[in-house]
Amino acid sequence: MATGDLTAVEGTDVYYVDVGAYDVPGYGSVYILDADRPAVVDTGLGTNVDVIVDALDEIGIDSLEYILATHVHLDHAGGAGYLADIYPEATVLIHDIGVRHLIDPSRLVEGTKAAVGEQWQYYDDPKPVPEDRIEGIEGGDEIDLGDRTVDVIHAPGHAPHQVLFHDRADDVLFSGDAAGIRPDDSDRLVPTSPPVNFDLEGCLDDADTIAERNPDYLCFGHFGAVAFTPALMDEYVDVLSSWVDSVCEKRAELADDDAVIEHFVETAELIEPWGERKSRAEARLNTKGVLRYLDQQEFFFVRLSTEKVDINRILSP
């Protein structure tokens, strides 16, 4: 696909458009639900909002009821404020934890810059969403789109503010980053483990949640829609677990985190259609996230072994 290409999910009222995230094809999907009360799922980086508007025009949608964000990471929610400005009747919905970050994105921008480094050049500074235009949602909520109901499912493994959206009418599930990454025109799954909130056990639980839902179609944030089988999530569990194991083993071997990161950047498999630049940048980000996760695990178990700790208090939200 190329930036601006619009694809219909066969037999449904769902479409997706390639928003050209990071100036590469086949990485960033924004989904459109052509419902009685139209909605989009995710918004991209904010750099190519005109691509989303053009796609809505092509479908024949001139107003939006909802802008649904799977989570606040700026490759998914960076365009929310821009779209809200273009469609003044639309309400932005995001998990309760993420609401304040879209109203005032300053801390989100600071954290993103620290995480993505040189990739920040491909972002736009997010436009704040007015407080009266955004509402918090949580797992168990339902979104009424008139001719269909969308279930909200909390999926905090990738980030505590991540949710899945399940369009029951067309049996399409929008996974954000909970199902990993599936490059365009590829049969393989690629792990996603960015800092600072990646949690392996939570991600594995989220994969189980998707398998239990067993939708007809799974819509990846990166990239596109595929016919779903539970075996797809079995594959992702193996891919993600093996990835974390490989970083853990290399850290034990090298005993220097910078060297670990550079190892995985230099040996990164080049993924088409992203090319070398994005493939290596993805490896850098994902390695940093696993290393932080391993640090958190080490802290947790050291604390348990050296202090009288109430484990129920630690695990409580």
Smallest CA-to-CA distance from 92 within 276, 83, 52 is with 83
Per-residue pLDDT at 306:
52
State the pLDDT at residue 302. Answer: 45
Q: Three-class SS of residue 140?
A: coil
Report pLDDT digits (tens) over 105-144.
Answer: 999 999 999 999 999 999 999 999 999 999 999 999 999 9
Please compute the mean of the pLDDT values over residues 57-85 and round it to a whole number.
97
**Cβ atoms of 17 and 32 closer than 8 Å:** yes
Examine the pLDDT at 314 and tell me if it is beyond 70.
no
Least confident of 28-32, 68-72, 100-104, 300-304: 300-304
Q: Which residues contact 69 (CB under 8 A, 6 or more apart)?
A: 41, 42, 43, 76, 77, 80, 92, 93, 94, 98, 102
Domains defined along the chain, listed by start: 6-239 (3.60.15.10), 246-315 (no CATH)
pLDDT of residue 185: 80
* Whether the predicted pLDDT of 311 surpasses 70: no
Q: What is the DSSP letter of 227?
A: E
pLDDT for res 300? 47
Higher pLDDT, 310 or 200: 200
Helix 230-254 to helix 276-306 angle (10° resolution) is: 70
Average pLDDT, rounded, for the chain = 93
In the predicted model, what is the mean pLDDT of residues 34-41? 98
> pTM for the complete prediction?
0.92
Q: Exposed (0-12), middle (13-18) or buried (19+): which is 121, by Cβ within 10 Å? A: exposed
257-268 tens-digit pLDDT: 999 999 999 999
Query: Which pLDDT tens digit goes with each residue over 133-166?
Result: 999 999 999 999 999 999 999 999 999 999 999 9
What's the residue count for the chain?
A: 317
Q: What is the pLDDT of residue 215?
A: 98
